[in-house]
Amino acid sequence: MSNGDIVTGEVIGTAILILFGAGVCAAVTLNHSKAKSAGWIVIAFGWGFGVMAGAYTAAPLSGAHLNPAVTVGVAVDTGDWDKVPLYLLGQLIGAVIGAVLCWALYYAQFAANADERNALPTLGIFSTVPEIRNPVANLLTEIIATVALVLPLLAFGRVDGIGIGPVDGGGSGDGTVIYGSGLSVLLVAFLVVGIGLSLGGPTGYAINPARDLGPRLAHALLPIPHKGTSDWGYAWIPVVGPLIGAVLAGLVFNAAF
């Protein structure tokens, strides 16, 4: 994969992921949306379908990491860090673009929010907000949930018939693959749905630093009426937690497989 293909693929794929994910949050949250109050199950499946759409689109170009935690987990396992900055750059840019597209798509609903007697805060559409603000518990939640994402994802690459091609698996000789053009993408999409349903309750399951940081930046910069705070005091947790979880998952996978 060329450097340009990596950045382009990650920008496009992550933008699609965030457009779907932030879009379903907007659909469920904002007044005057036909999906208003549709609930957590709808949100979990919306994010899962976003992963599927973004990954299938980006896989031919970049392998479709779409997540700094995935990129770091792979690098820890393989020892190959050369392309990591390119992946992270594409993912962050794509996440901002996806958030802006969501805002544009729901522009009328965001504008109507300004006219509501009790205007809704909008940060939860773009980024994660914990139900109980406890830094230790919130950080631990993101670490565990990210291990639950990255470790199975790495293992999917060792199952015959579901990957697109091998990536060196830390000197094991078998090779590892993250996203493929086959069944692996669908499996990862359902894995994300499962994490949302089972593990997402405490913090909203960022499990992806770009997914949280990029839209949070967009939320801070966009002219959203009555948007409320962007909560930068919490913003480090959905970045640091998934990165720690990714390192742990990569180390466990490298040792066990």
Residue 34: how many other CB atoms lie within 10 Å: 6
Question: Lowest-pLDDT range, 116-125, 144-153, 158-167, 226-235?
Answer: 158-167
Rounded to the nearest integer, the mean pLDDT of the chain is 91
What is the predicted pLDDT for the residue at 162? 65
The residues, ordered by sequence, that sit 6+ positions from 76 with a Cβ below 8 Å of its Cβ are 246, 247, 249, 250, 251, 254
What is the predicted pLDDT for the residue at 159? 72
What is the predicted pLDDT for the residue at 115? 74
Token pair, residue 108, equals 């009328």
Question: Lowest-pLDDT range, 9-23, 73-87, 108-122, 144-158?
Answer: 108-122
Distance between CA atoms of residues 106 and 176, nearest Å = 39
Band of residue 163 on the pLDDT scale cut at 50, 70, 90: low
Distance between CA atoms of residues 81 and 142, nearest Å = 23
Q: Is the pLDDT of residue 180 over 50?
A: no
Distance between CA atoms of residues 113 and 33, nearest Å = 11
Angle between helices 237-256 and 68-78 (to 10 degrees): 30
Band of residue 228 on the pLDDT scale cut at 50, 70, 90: confident
Measured at the alpha carbon of residue 77, what is the angle toward residues 144 and 53, in degrees to the nearest 5? 65
Per DSSP, 120 falls in state P
Question: Lowest-pLDDT range, 156-160, 164-168, 199-203, 243-247?
Answer: 164-168
Q: Is the pLDDT of residue 256 over 80?
A: yes
Distance between CA atoms of residues 185 and 51, nearest Å = 8
Distance between CA atoms of residues 52 and 136, nearest Å = 31
Q: pLDDT, tens digit, for every residue of 35-70?
A: 999 999 999 999 999 999 999 999 999 999 999 999
Token pair, residue 191, equals 């894995």
What is residue 2's three-state secondary structure? Answer: coil
Cβ–Cβ under 8 Å, residues 241 and 142: yes
Distance between CA atoms of residues 24 and 90, nearest Å = 23
Cβ–Cβ under 8 Å, residues 51 and 192: yes
The residues, ordered by sequence, that sit 6+ positions from 52 with a Cβ below 8 Å of its Cβ are 185, 186, 188, 189
| Closest of 98, 85, 90 to residue 61, by C-alpha | 90
Band of residue 156 on the pLDDT scale cut at 50, 70, 90: confident
What is the predicted pLDDT for the residue at 166? 40
Q: pLDDT, tens digit, for every residue of 205-219?
A: 999 999 999 999 999
What is the predicted pLDDT for the residue at 176? 44
Q: pLDDT, tens digit, for every residue of 5-35?
A: 999 999 999 999 999 999 999 999 998 999 9
